[in-house]
Amino acid sequence: MLGAIVGDIVGSRFEFDNHRSKEFDLFGEGCFATDDSIMTLAVAKALMETRRTLGPEDDFCRLLGDLTVQYMQDIGRNYPNCGYGGSFYHWVFSDDPKPYNSYGNGAAMRISPVGFIAKSMDEAVRLSEIVTAVTHNHPEGIKGAEATTVAIYLARHGASQSEIGERVSREYYPLDFNIDAIRPTYRFNETCQDTVPQAIQCFLEAESFEDAIRIAVSLGGDSDTIAAITGAISEAYFGVPEWIRQEALSYLDPRLREIYDAWEAWSK
CATH code at position 133? 1.10.4080.10
Helix, strand, coil percentages (3-state) for the chain, rounded to 5, are: 65, 0, 35
- 47-63 mean pLDDT: 87
Residue 161: is its pLDDT beyond 90? yes
Q: What is the pLDDT of residue 58?
A: 78
With a CB cutoff of 8 Å and minimum separation 6, the contacts of 16 are none
- At residue 6, the pLDDT reads 98
Of all residues in the chain, the percent with pLDDT exceeding 70 is 99
In the predicted structure, residue 268 carries a pLDDT above the cut 90? no
Ramachandran region of residue 224, left (φ > 0), alpha (ψ -120 to 50) or beta? alpha
CA distance 3 to 197: 17
pLDDT at 57: 67
Distance CA 217, CA 265 (A): 30
Q: Which of 56-70, 122-136, 185-199 has the lowest mean pLDDT?
A: 56-70
Q: How far apart are CA 65 and CA 50, in angstroms?
A: 9
Q: Name the band, by pLDDT with cuts 50, 70 and 90, for residue 244.
A: very high
- At residue 89 the predicted structure's pLDDT band, cuts being 50, 70 and 90, is very high
Q: What integer best gives the mean pLDDT of the chain? A: 97
Domain that holds residue 111: 2-267
Q: How confident is the model at residue 199 (pLDDT cuts 50, 70, 90)?
A: very high
Q: What is the CA radius of gyration of the chain?
A: 17
Report which of residues 76 and 267 the model is more confident about.
Answer: 76
| Mean pLDDT value across residues 20-46 | 97
> Rounded CA gap, 244 and 66, in Å?
34
pLDDT for residue 54: 83
Q: What confidence tens digit (pLDDT) does each residue in 104-153 have?
A: 999 999 999 999 999 999 999 999 999 999 999 999 999 999 999 999 99
State the average pLDDT over residues 28-36: 97
Query: Residue 49 and residue 69: Cα distance in Å, rounded?
Result: 12
What total of structural domains would you count in the chain? 1
CB 138 within 8 Å of CB 174: no
Q: What SS3 class is residue 191? A: strand
pLDDT on residue 50: 95
